[in-house]
Amino acid sequence: MIQYKNNEEIELIRESSLLVGKTLAEVARHIIPGIETRKLDKIAEEFIRDHGALPGFKGYGGFPGTLCISVNENVVHGIPGKAKLKDGDIVSIDCGTILNGFYGDSAYTFEVGEVKDEIKLLLKRTKESLYKGIEAAIVGKRIGDIGFEIQNYTEQFGYSVVRDLVGHGLGRNLHEKPEVPNYGKRGVGIKLKEGMVLAIEPMINLGVKDVVQEKDGWTIRTLDRMPSAHFEHDVAIRKGKAEILSTFDYIEEVLNIK
């Protein structure tokens, strides 16, 4: 069942979502070649707790970290550990918080040092596809319209859309109905209504769409071990234009992206 939110609840989700953006910005300050991913995780956990919130992912379904840290061919759900980031890597960092009883959930893919132009473009276009999807997230449209925009935009560049993982509703629970695939057909699926809050999160691969789960039971990587990018925003469905509750502004200020 879809949980519709009133304006007060949407404001609480916004507060939690903005904290995720601030947390990812704090993490961004430390993304350099040689840092262990578990160090980034510790920074995030301390920052979230210092701001009166709880890490939304830690212990969720048994997940051991505050952040999902997925490097290069790892799409999502990478476990923080002793692995060190290297020059030329990309790292997708997904973060969740619980504040005032509501979840925030956002993801951003970062460059580590000097990254190949081909991979820089994958990141740029994956982020652009997120905003294409958000443009379709308005009252009267359908779930398939969001996925269509993301798929249509990214596949023209020869990229693949991951099928096995999808966006979702968001609120008092991290994963609520409806599922929000990053592929689809216009006019198909659940009708979008005021009061729905969705986490829209394209996961786009440079190579094939197929993914596999690693032996750790969490990490999902591309079958062909080609890089994958992941960006995620929390969005409230409104008439005419979606309302983005999360933000990349804090992150991009740190990264000096205009």
Residue 1 inside a domain? The answer is no
d(CA 159, CA 20): 28
Q: Which pLDDT score is estimated for 258?
A: 73
Confidence (pTM): 0.98
Q: Is the residue at 2 inside a domain?
A: no
**Average pLDDT over all residues of the chain:** 98
Per-residue model confidence as pLDDT tens digits over 123-154: 999 999 999 999 999 999 999 999 999 999 99
Q: What is the DSSP string of the chain?
A: -B----HHHHHHHHHHHHHHHHHHHHHHTT--TT-BHHHHHHHHHHHHHHTT-EESSTTGGG---SEEEEETTEEE-PPP-S-B--TT-EEEEEEEEEETTEEEEEEEEEE-SS--HHHHHHHHHHHHHHHHHHHT-BTT-BHHHHHHHHHHHHHTTT-EE-SS--EEE-SSSSSEEEEE-SS--TT-SSBP-TT-EEEE--EEESS-S-EEE-TTSS-EEETT---EEE-BEEEE-BSSS-EE-S-SHHHHHHTT--
Domain count, the chain: 1
Residues 92-119: tens digit of each pLDDT: 999 999 999 999 999 999 999 999 999 9
Q: What average pLDDT does the segment 171-191 reach?
A: 98
Domain harbouring 94, CATH code: 3.90.230.10
pLDDT tens profile 23-42:
999 999 999 999 999 999 99
Is 173 part of a structural domain of the chain? Answer: yes
Q: Is residue 211 part of a domain?
A: yes
Q: Is residue 163 part of a domain?
A: yes
pLDDT band for 257, please (50, 70, 90 cuts). confident
- Dihedral over alpha carbons 28, 33, 37, 42 (to 10 degrees): -50
Residue 197 lies inside a defined structural domain of this protein: yes
Assess if residue 149 is contained within a domain: yes
The answer on pLDDT for 75 being more than 90 is yes
Domain that holds residue 107: 7-254
pLDDT confidence of residue 76 = 98
